[in-house]
Amino acid sequence: MAKILIVDDSALVRMKCSQVLSSNGYSVIEAENGEEALEKYKEHKPDGVLMDIVMPRMHGITALHEIRKIDPVARVAMLTAMGQKAMVTSALKEGARDFVVKPFREGRVIDTIQRLLGKTKID
Protein backbone atom coordinates (compact mmCIF):
# COMPACT_ATOMS: atom_id res chain seq x y z
CA MET A 1 0.00 0.00 0.00
CA ALA A 2 1.53 3.33 -1.09
CA LYS A 3 2.07 5.93 1.66
CA ILE A 4 1.06 9.54 1.01
CA LEU A 5 1.97 12.50 3.23
CA ILE A 6 -0.65 15.28 3.24
CA VAL A 7 0.71 18.63 4.43
CA ASP A 8 -1.84 21.37 5.04
CA ASP A 9 -2.65 23.70 7.94
CA SER A 10 -6.35 23.25 7.24
CA ALA A 11 -7.83 20.32 9.14
CA LEU A 12 -10.73 20.28 6.68
CA VAL A 13 -8.45 19.92 3.67
CA ARG A 14 -6.44 17.19 5.39
CA MET A 15 -9.66 15.38 6.27
CA LYS A 16 -11.05 15.59 2.72
CA CYS A 17 -7.77 14.50 1.13
CA SER A 18 -7.36 11.72 3.61
CA GLN A 19 -10.86 10.39 2.91
CA VAL A 20 -10.28 10.49 -0.85
CA LEU A 21 -6.92 8.74 -0.66
CA SER A 22 -7.91 6.18 1.97
CA SER A 23 -10.99 5.16 0.01
CA ASN A 24 -8.74 4.61 -3.01
CA GLY A 25 -6.43 2.28 -1.15
CA TYR A 26 -3.64 4.60 -0.01
CA SER A 27 -2.11 4.84 3.43
CA VAL A 28 -2.17 8.44 4.69
CA ILE A 29 0.09 10.44 7.01
CA GLU A 30 -0.75 14.03 7.93
CA ALA A 31 1.27 17.13 8.86
CA GLU A 32 0.02 20.63 9.76
CA ASN A 33 2.98 22.68 8.55
CA GLY A 34 6.33 22.50 6.80
CA GLU A 35 8.33 21.74 9.92
CA GLU A 36 6.11 18.82 10.85
CA ALA A 37 6.23 17.64 7.22
CA LEU A 38 10.03 17.35 7.41
CA GLU A 39 9.82 15.28 10.59
CA LYS A 40 7.12 13.02 9.15
CA TYR A 41 9.00 12.62 5.88
CA LYS A 42 12.16 11.47 7.69
CA GLU A 43 10.16 9.14 9.92
CA HIS A 44 7.81 7.55 7.36
CA LYS A 45 9.60 7.93 3.98
CA PRO A 46 6.30 8.35 2.09
CA ASP A 47 5.93 7.43 -1.58
CA GLY A 48 4.35 10.79 -2.40
CA VAL A 49 3.61 14.16 -0.81
CA LEU A 50 0.72 16.58 -1.30
CA MET A 51 1.97 19.94 -0.01
CA ASP A 52 0.11 23.20 0.71
CA ILE A 53 2.09 26.44 0.28
CA VAL A 54 0.71 29.01 2.73
CA MET A 55 1.24 27.54 6.18
CA PRO A 56 2.48 28.78 9.56
CA ARG A 57 6.03 28.08 10.82
CA MET A 58 7.40 26.88 7.47
CA HIS A 59 5.65 27.41 4.14
CA GLY A 60 5.38 24.78 1.45
CA ILE A 61 8.09 25.96 -0.94
CA THR A 62 10.68 25.95 1.84
CA ALA A 63 9.48 22.56 3.04
CA LEU A 64 9.73 21.23 -0.53
CA HIS A 65 13.29 22.54 -0.74
CA GLU A 66 14.23 20.90 2.58
CA ILE A 67 12.61 17.59 1.69
CA ARG A 68 14.50 17.51 -1.62
CA LYS A 69 17.73 18.04 0.33
CA ILE A 70 16.92 14.94 2.38
CA ASP A 71 15.66 12.98 -0.62
CA PRO A 72 16.57 14.40 -4.07
CA VAL A 73 14.01 12.16 -5.79
CA ALA A 74 11.16 12.98 -3.41
CA ARG A 75 7.82 13.01 -5.20
CA VAL A 76 6.00 16.15 -4.16
CA ALA A 77 2.93 17.80 -5.68
CA MET A 78 1.75 21.20 -4.51
CA LEU A 79 -1.91 21.45 -3.42
CA THR A 80 -2.77 25.11 -2.99
CA ALA A 81 -5.03 28.03 -3.82
CA MET A 82 -1.90 30.02 -4.72
CA GLY A 83 -2.11 29.42 -8.46
CA GLN A 84 0.09 32.39 -9.34
CA LYS A 85 2.15 31.76 -12.46
CA ALA A 86 5.39 32.83 -10.79
CA MET A 87 4.56 30.60 -7.82
CA VAL A 88 4.00 27.60 -10.07
CA THR A 89 7.33 28.30 -11.79
CA SER A 90 9.07 28.64 -8.45
CA ALA A 91 7.61 25.37 -7.15
CA LEU A 92 8.57 23.49 -10.30
CA LYS A 93 12.10 24.88 -10.09
CA GLU A 94 12.31 23.58 -6.54
CA GLY A 95 11.38 20.12 -7.76
CA ALA A 96 7.58 19.90 -7.44
CA ARG A 97 6.23 17.30 -9.87
CA ASP A 98 2.69 18.64 -10.15
CA PHE A 99 0.49 21.53 -9.04
CA VAL A 100 -3.14 21.04 -7.95
CA VAL A 101 -5.16 24.21 -7.47
CA LYS A 102 -7.72 24.32 -4.65
CA PRO A 103 -10.62 23.86 -4.37
CA PHE A 104 -9.72 20.41 -5.61
CA ARG A 105 -11.84 17.68 -7.09
CA GLU A 106 -11.46 14.10 -5.95
CA GLY A 107 -10.50 12.86 -9.40
CA ARG A 108 -7.75 15.46 -9.78
CA VAL A 109 -6.12 14.42 -6.51
CA ILE A 110 -6.19 10.74 -7.44
CA ASP A 111 -4.82 11.46 -10.94
CA THR A 112 -2.01 13.49 -9.41
CA ILE A 113 -1.06 10.78 -6.95
CA GLN A 114 -1.15 8.12 -9.66
CA ARG A 115 1.16 10.25 -11.83
CA LEU A 116 3.51 10.85 -8.90
CA LEU A 117 3.75 7.16 -8.16
CA GLY A 118 4.02 6.32 -11.85
CA LYS A 119 7.13 8.47 -12.00
CA THR A 120 8.49 6.36 -9.16
CA LYS A 121 8.50 3.31 -11.42
CA ILE A 122 10.03 5.22 -14.35
CA ASP A 123 12.76 6.69 -12.19
Partner 1 sequence: MNSLLWKELSTKPSVNNHGAKISSNQGAVNLIDGQLSVKELKTWEKLVKKGLNNALVGLSDLLGHELKLNSLNVEQIPIRKLTDLINSSDAHSIGTRLTIEGDISGQIMLIHSPEIAFRFIDLLLDLPIGTTNKIGNLERCALEDIGNITGSYFLNTLADNAGLIIMPSPPEVVIDRLSAIMNTPIETIRKQQTHTVLVKSTFSADSQKMDGTFIVLPTFDFVRAVTQEKVTLSERSV
Binding region for partner 1 (CB under 8 A) out of 22-30, 37-45, 82-90, 108-116: 82-90
- Biggest CA–CA distance in the chain, Å, is 35
Interface positions, 23-52, toward partner 1 (CB under 8 A): none
Q: Any residues with CB less than 8 A from the CB of 43 and at least 6 apart, and which?
A: none
| Least distance (Å) between residue 59 CB and partner 1 | 7
Angstrom distance (rounded) from CA 69 to CA 74:
9
Residue 23 or residue 120: which is nearer to partner 1 going by CB?
23
Q: Are 110 and 89 in contact (CB under 8 A)?
A: no
Residue 3 or residue 18: which is nearer to partner 1 going by CB?
18
107 binds partner 1 (CB under 8 A): no
